[in-house]
Amino acid sequence: MTIRLIKPDKINLEDRRFRFTFNPVEERFKYSVQVIGVLQPVIITYREGKPVLIDGWKRVEAARFCGLEQLLTLEIDNQATDAEVFFLAFFINYSRRPFSLAEKSLAVRKFHDFGLQPPDIIENVLPLLELPPEQKTVEIMLELSGLERWLEVIHRKDWKLGTAELLVSFPPEERHWLLQLVEKLTHSQQKEIIENFYSLKRRTGKSLKELAGEKEIGTVIGRLTAGELEAAGALLSVLRKFNSPTVWRLNQAISDRIRQLELPPEISLDYDRTLEKTGLKISLEASSTREFKEVLRCLSERLASPEWEEIFKLLHHVGD
Amino acid sequence: MTLQPIKKVWLDQKVEKAALTRRLLDRLPGVPVEQVAGLEPVKREFRFATDPVGESKQHLFITEQKAFIRPCPCTPGSVGCGYWTIDLDLNCPFDCSYCILQQYLNWQPLTVAVNRQKLRVELESFFQRKSSGIIRIGTGELADSLALDEMTENSIFLVESFRGQGRFWLELKSKSDYIRPLLTIKPAENVVLSWSLNPEGIIATEEKGTAGLMERLQAAAKAANHGYRVGFHFDPILHYPGWQDDYEGLVAMLFRVVPVEAIAWVSLGSLRFPSALLPLARRRFPKSQIYEQEFIRSAEGKYRYPRPVRLLLYNLLAEMLASYRVEDKIYLCMESAEVWKEFLEKIKRGRQKLAFPFSWLG
């Protein structure tokens, strides 16, 4: 290993063969470099006579941004194989922070491409990444790593393995369509939309294109792709209606009856939306005995409405 | 019934010299045997398989159990039935798409405990400790009670252990039709041979390797003729287009073949599964549609059909069964008090007999 100073712009940041992490350079870090420079050497090796970065991506980027003339480098012998160098890059980062699923997928991809056999990945790498040590995980990680620009979305939203497995079970063109659709949504919305499309697709045997062509789904997808992020809730509602018709229909009917009761704001009704419980919770709000009497009188008057009986009937409904 | 061949036997060195070990090995001539110090190296072998769960079903681990008897945990929020389980074998050579053991046993190979004498001692103490009431106990929770019986003959050992213990009812629950050893011995009054039932179409698509419906029913009829009581578990009941016709056909077939008076109990339970099973089962059974129905996530975290659908299944099945006068033998498995209450209100209407919630508990 040799320590030497080189110009930051000599390092080709496009050569990402040893990179599997995603974190961008923060403003605070750039400011710190501006004030005190980069004190810790970045780690490089040489390939075809050119320096290739192993570790220190943020430092190099910040050094360039701040216009530093020289950067301290620790040079790894260029006789080291790519696999050995990546092993080093992996362990330098391993102790720093837990990796996101996207980073884990890139790490698996690189170990794989640098010649580590799946049994070795299963035995030695997956346990370090806290992933289930089995063949299927390797397959999912390799598929996921091929998503290129989408990996950053998956990284930012901190996806879990289950969602990734569902995503890679779609054909490539559908994966991209789905990712485009959910890119800007929250992780839980992304997860639920993917799960619902997965289930709907399996149940109906239709492609995502065909499903998106259905009027109700197509309309909200149109709003979402036009940038109306609030349409995510509407899309989820439509998907739930398709995937959970009994519960959806009963909930709609109960909500309608509750609305028809036209209760004052001091009286509120609630019930278990999964319909496991058949009871209705009735809350009253009053700040004096007089108000309490008034609320009770109002409730008693409303009890004559036929909607009450219908609500209880719906809560006890049996059928599909 | 078509069992996959055992690829390899893993012999726990602790039981190398046990008499039952020898007998098991004699029954598996030509199968490679490797001695191991524990379970870990066996499970490690499955890591590299495309389908570790499927692979685990083709490996036999001969070992010992530290303790055999435990109360059935049921599920939080459900009405328990006071059942006890004996973990004599673990895992099952059958491959049902809905089976929670796929996930629950975490690649446990087919496991046979050969220290049955310890179980006998545990049972003797159990018989003495539980001084009142009827206790039901069975080996069918973490395994199929009869699937490996040709090798182990555990059934004979168990029946003989329970003989004369009138308050303790042993249940051997299965999807197999292999009851030959049980027909060679005198039946015991407190032994119930039971079968899980589903329509033939479901057996063909979702219950790989198991005996067909008629084979199970004929085995039950033989057991009844021999003098055993029999039980049936409609579990998991599946909800799909056309389910009602299929289950009507199944119930009619059941009572054509099996005498009503031999039936000790009939349980009803609808499909339920922990969320962790979902990705695994979808992966292992890509053609199965059972996971693509309408589910709710219940308070204990399991997926279930919505309550209105479950009650529909239970009510209609109970009506079908009631027409053969077995309504007083029906109970629900892993259901909430709310569903129990509604079910009982429906099923006892117009009838004198109360569908029993566990009358054996006294």
Range of the domain at A184: 172-243
Q: Report the residue of chain A nearest B304, measured CA to CA.
A: A276
Which residue shows structure tokens 């194989």? A81
Whether A317 and B239 lie within 8 Å, measured CB to CB? no
Maximum distance among all Cα pairs of chain B, rounded to whole angstroms: 63
Q: Residue B193 above 80 pLDDT?
A: yes
A275 close to B (CB below 8 A): yes
Q: Residue A163 above 90 pLDDT?
A: yes
Identify the bridge partners of residue B110 per DSSP, sorted by sequence position.
B60
The values of phi and psi at residue A226, to 5°, are -80, 5
What is the average pLDDT across B57-63?
98
Hey, where are the domains in chain B?
Answer: 67-361
> A193 and A123 in one domain?
no
pLDDT at B358: 52
Q: Residue B357 above 50 pLDDT?
A: no
Cβ-Cβ contacts under 8 Å, A275 against chain B: 296, 306-308
Query: Closest Cα of chain A to B239: distance in Å?
Result: 9
pLDDT band for B355, please (50, 70, 90 cuts).
very low
> A114 and A15 in one domain?
yes
Whole-number Å distance between alpha carbons of A189 and A201: 18
Query: Closest Cα of chain B to A279: distance in Å?
Result: 10
> A65 and A140 in one domain?
yes
pTM: predicted TM-score of the whole model, two decimal places? 0.90
DSSP alpha helix (H) spans, chain B: 19-26, 40-46, 52-56, 101-104, 116-129, 149-152, 154-162, 180-183, 200-206, 213-226, 243-257, 277-284, 307-322, 337-347
> A54 and A8 in one domain?
yes
Q: Write out pLDDT tens, residues B225-276.
A: 999 999 999 999 999 999 999 999 999 999 999 999 999 999 999 999 999 9
pLDDT band for B359, please (50, 70, 90 cuts).
low
> A155 and A9 in one domain?
yes
- B92 contacts B144 by C-beta, under 8 angstroms: yes
> A28 and A97 in one domain?
yes
Cβ-Cβ contacts under 8 Å, B280 against chain A: none
Residue A265 lies in a domain: yes
Q: Write out pLDDT tens, residues A52-111.
A: 999 999 999 999 999 999 999 999 999 999 999 999 999 999 999 999 999 999 999 999
Cβ-Cβ contacts under 8 Å, B283 against chain A: 136, 165
B283 close to A (CB below 8 A): yes
Whether A320 and B309 lie within 8 Å, measured CB to CB? yes
Q: Report the residue of chain A nearest B307, measured CA to CA.
A: A276
Size of interface A-B (CB pairs under 8 A): 82
Mention every residue, 6+ apart, whose C-beta is less than 8 A from residue B82. Answer: B135, B136, B358, B360, B361
Q: Which of B85, B92, B90 is nearest to B68 (CA)?
A: B85
Instruction: Please give the C-alpha separations between residue A19 and each of A30, A61, A110, in angstroms, as whole numbers.
Output: 20, 14, 9
Identify the bridge partners of residue B191 per DSSP, sorted by sequence position.
B170
Whether B296 and A202 lie within 8 Å, measured CB to CB? no
Query: Treating both helix axes as pointing N-terminal to C-terminal, what angle do A231-243 and A187-204 enclose, rounded to 10 degrees?
Result: 30
Looking at the partner chain, which of A122, A245, A274 has a beta carbon nearest the beta carbon of B47?
A122
pLDDT band for B163, please (50, 70, 90 cuts).
very high
> Where among A186, A218, A243 does a domain terminate?
A243
pLDDT band for B79, please (50, 70, 90 cuts).
confident
What is the average pLDDT across B201-215?
98
> Where among A187, A212, A243 does a domain terminate?
A243
- A residues 154..183 contacting B (CB < 8 A): 162, 165-166
> A195 and A234 in one domain?
yes
CA of residue A289 relative to chain centroid, distance: 51
Residue A231 lies in a domain: yes
Whole-number Å distance between alpha carbons of A317 and B320: 20
pLDDT at B361: 44
The lowest-confidence range among A113-117, A150-154, B278-282, B296-300 is B296-300
Whether A247 and B306 lie within 8 Å, measured CB to CB? yes
What is the average pLDDT across B278-287?
94
> A197 and A224 in one domain?
yes
Whether B342 and A316 lie within 8 Å, measured CB to CB? yes
The values of phi and psi at residue A5, to 5°, are -100, 135
pLDDT at B82: 85
Residue A253 lies in a domain: no
Residue A180 lies in a domain: yes
> A86 and A42 in one domain?
yes
Mention every residue, 6+ apart, whose C-beta is less than 8 A from residue B47. Answer: A119, A122, A123, A133, A134, A135
Q: Write out pLDDT tens, residues A248-292.
A: 999 999 999 999 999 999 999 999 999 999 999 999 999 999 999
Token output for A61: 């980027």
Cβ-Cβ contacts under 8 Å, A121 against chain B: none
Q: Write out pLDDT tens, residues A29-42.
A: 999 999 999 999 99
Whole-number Å distance between alpha carbons of A70 and A5: 6
Identify the bridge partners of residue B303 per DSSP, sorted by sequence position.
B273, B297
Kindly give the pairing relationship between strand B33-36 and strand B59-63: unpaired
Token output for A166: 């569902």
Query: Closest Cα of chain A to B50: distance in Å?
Result: 6
Q: Report the residue of chain A nearest B288, measured CA to CA.
A: A202
> A54 and A164 in one domain?
yes
Whether B308 and A135 lie within 8 Å, measured CB to CB? no
Q: Report the residue of chain B nearest A123, measured CA to CA.
A: B47
pLDDT at B78: 86
pLDDT at A310: 98
Proportion of chain A above pLDDT 90, given as a percent? 97
pLDDT at B362: 43
Cβ-Cβ contacts under 8 Å, A244 against chain B: 294-296, 306
Q: Which of B72, B63, B19 is nearest to B43 (CA)?
A: B63
pLDDT at B349: 59
pLDDT band for B354, please (50, 70, 90 cuts).
very low
Q: Residue B353 above 80 pLDDT?
A: no
Looking at the partner chain, which of A244, A278, A319 has a beta carbon nearest the beta carbon of B338?
A278
A195 close to B (CB below 8 A): no
> A209 and A63 in one domain?
no
A202 close to B (CB below 8 A): yes
Q: Write out pLDDT tens, residues B84-132.
A: 999 999 999 999 999 999 999 999 999 999 999 999 999 999 999 977 7
Q: How many domains does chain A have?
A: 3
> A232 and A157 in one domain?
no
Cβ-Cβ contacts under 8 Å, B302 against chain A: none
- A residues 280..299 contacting B (CB < 8 A): none
Query: Closest Cα of chain A to B77: distance in Å?
Result: 11
Query: Closest Cα of chain A to B312: distance in Å?
Result: 5
A37 close to B (CB below 8 A): no
Cβ-Cβ contacts under 8 Å, A242 against chain B: none
CATH topology for the B67-361 domain: pyruvate-formate lyase- activating enzyme (3.80.30)
B77 close to A (CB below 8 A): no
Query: Closest Cα of chain A to B48: distance in Å?
Result: 5
